[in-house]
Structure 1
Amino acid sequence: MPINPNFQAEAVNHHIVSWLRNYAANAKVKGFVVGISGGIDSALTSTLCAQTGMPVLCVEMPIHQAPSHVSRAREHIKKLKERFDNVSGAEADLTPVFETFRKQVPETENDHLQQLTLANTRARLRMTTLYYFAGIHSALVAGTGNKVEDFGVGFFTKYGDGGIDISPIADLTKSEVRQLAKYLEVTESIIIAKPTDGLFGDDRSDEDQLGASYEELEWAMEALENGKTHTDFEGRQKEVFEIYRRLNTINQHKMLPIPVCEIPDNLK
């Protein structure tokens, strides 16, 4: 990942923790709930929440999960509990719930669409679970999406991992997430692990699904913001730019408010 030389990890850390603490106080809630995947985004988010001093519940929600994801998630929660006495952990094995759901809905001949829809179903089951825990603990669900995922390519599930109360790291690129995670001494195995959404029950990475790495997508995001077009590039750069622009376009429905059909005043 490229290093942002202007990134002030200590100051950013303080800013986010202060923001979390103030938001929770104004919302009159007792703490935070974070879904832990074994990836760097959820590890960083939970660490930031832990620094508020408010109760933080880290929830594992395996659904036919790859063993490497489970082990990294448990390693992170164990380490975080050792560092912060306001952190606790919980596990909700959603595999039986997911399998019951699968048996109740029809199959389709389009295997790609079915697998994609079931992957999104996993994310939505997890969202429902996080809100259950948040409800019984009077807590906020803290999202784990970064800037490129949430506002660049829309790499999240609407009403799944996109269903949250607050978004602490959504203004940080993946590179900045890594810089802040290193500063906060997040477990090295998590920092170096290939990013994956873990929604397909295997080890496919985000890059496998997106067709470009986060480094490349960050570059394309900046290029588009600076008014560049595909005609400004050749080869791999042109390919990545077009991947980013396509995903940014088709996923606008995730990033924009829900469209409301406004009725003219003369009709009501």
Structure 2
Amino acid sequence: MQTEKVTQYIVDWLKDYAQNANMNGFVVGVSGGIDSGVTSTLCAMTGMNTLCVEMPIHQAQSQVNRAQEHIAQLKERFPNVSDARVDLTPVFEEFKTEVPETSLETLDLSLANTRARLRMTTLYYFAGLHRYLVAGTGNKVEDFGVGFFTKYGDGGVDLSPIADLLKSEVYEIGLFVKVPASIQKAVPTDGLFGDSRSDEDQIGASYDELEWAMSMQDQGKKPEDFEGREREVYEIYLRLNRINQHKVTPIPVCEIPPEFK
């Protein structure tokens, strides 16, 4: 990848899109991870107003520290960057008291997705205040490979500047645009469960393995073409790719036959 050219292309694309939409800048949820670190830096590089919002919900201190380090670094580098911190923990806890109690095994996942949707609502609150665009932080593997995001949570955005980049390419740009080393070295996690589980723990495969699987799918390979760990990874990828198509494809519209109208 031609990192410098790709970086400048994304920056120009962001700026052109915002100006054509007659918007004043961008708002980005900053989590302390590489994707939000790169996205917020690219937005800052446009020279347009860039608001970095930290939204902890029972967040691990290590994630909070990385997010704050990154925001502080961005504000030092770019005069157009500002920040806000909204502690959503009490909002989340109050929400739990208002919904029916359940012992269903899907409860943890439902609450994890609720966290993401509370954050999306918060970002759009700031976006509405300032006429900003909500910049998405999803990469290609997450958004179009395994669907590893929350519909109308971190998937609820106005534009997706890094969604055509593989995770490895995001790291390349992160290094080029000087995202803090602590973020570059951190184990990827969505931080939605309030514990130390990583993305790999949840998915069952690393991003390097998933990138390999995406390339195998592009080549039309089948699971039986592989054995051992490769087959296991490919089957994980294909299963997630299949069941999460409802996130990737546009919302289905029930089109009424003309003769019925």
Name the TM tier (shorter chain).
over 0.9
Report 1:107-186 matches (<5 A). Answer: 107-110=101-104, 112-186=105-179
Structure 2: distance between partners of 1:117 and 1:262: 30
TM (norm. structure 2) is 0.99
Q: How far apart are the structure 1 equivalents of 2:86 and 2:182?
A: 23
Q: CA deviation at 1:34?
A: 0.1
* Structure 1 residue 108: Cα displacement: 1.5
Tell me how far apart the structure 2 counterparts of residues 146 and 67 of structure 1 sit (CA, whole Å).
Answer: 24
Alpha-carbon distance between aligned partners in 2 of 1:202 and 1:96, rounded to the nearest angstrom: 18
How many residue pairs were aligned? 261
**In structure 1, C-alpha distance between the alignment counterparts of 2:88 and 2:173, rounded to whole Å:** 31
Residue among 234, 237, 240 paired with 1:244:
237
**Cα distance between partner residues in 2 of 1:23 and 1:192:** 32
Give the 5 Å matches for 1:20-39: 20-39=14-33
CA deviation after TM superposition for structure 1 residue 109, in Å: 1.8
Percent of pairs with identical residues: 69
| 2:205 paired with 1:212 | yes
Does the Cα contact within 8 Å between 1:13 and 1:180 map onto a contact in 2?
A: yes
Residue pairs, 1:1-268, within 5 angstroms: 7-110=1-104, 112-268=105-261
Deviations 1:18-58 (A, max 9, x none): 00000000000000000000000000000000000000000
Amino acid at match of 1:198: G
CA distance in 2, matches of 1:76, 1:214: 23
Letter in 2 for 1:145: G
* Deviation by residue 1:106-135 (Cα, 9 ceiling, x = unmatched): 12122x300100000000000000000001
Question: SS in structure 1 opposite 2:106?
Answer: helix
* Counterpart residue type for residue 139 of structure 1: Y
Q: Give the Cα–Cα distance (whole angstroms) in 2 for the partners of residues 260 and 99 of structure 1.
A: 35
Query: Matched residue of 1:140: which SS?
Result: strand
Instruction: Work out whether residues 107 and 114 of structure 1, in 8 Å CA contact, stay in contact via their aligned partners in 2.
Output: no
Give the distance between the partners of 2:102 and 2:231, measured in 1 at CA.
36
In the alignment, the residues of structure 2 paired with residue 137 and residue 265 of structure 1 have an alpha-carbon distance, to the nearest angstrom, of: 43
Shift of 1:203: 1.6
State the Cα deviation string for residues 163-212 of structure 1 (Å, max 9, x = none). Answer: 00000000000000001100111101100100000101112100000000
CA distance in 1, matches of 2:156, 2:69: 26
- Structure 2 residue aligned with 1:4: none
What displacement does 1:232 show? 0.7
- Which deviations, in whole Å up to 9, do the C-alpha atoms of 1:197-236 show, x marking residues without a partner? 0101112100000000000000000001111000110000
State the alpha-carbon separation in 1 of the partners of residues 204 and 153 from structure 2: 22
Structure 1: runs of 5+ lacking an equivalent: 1-6
| Residue equivalent to 1:3 | none
Is the CA contact (8 Å cut-off) linking 1:207 and 1:213 kept in structure 2?
yes
RMSD: 0.5
Unaligned runs of 5+ residues in structure 2 are none
Instruction: Give the residue type in structure 2 aligned to 1:11.
Output: K
Q: Secondary structure at the match of 2:151?
A: coil
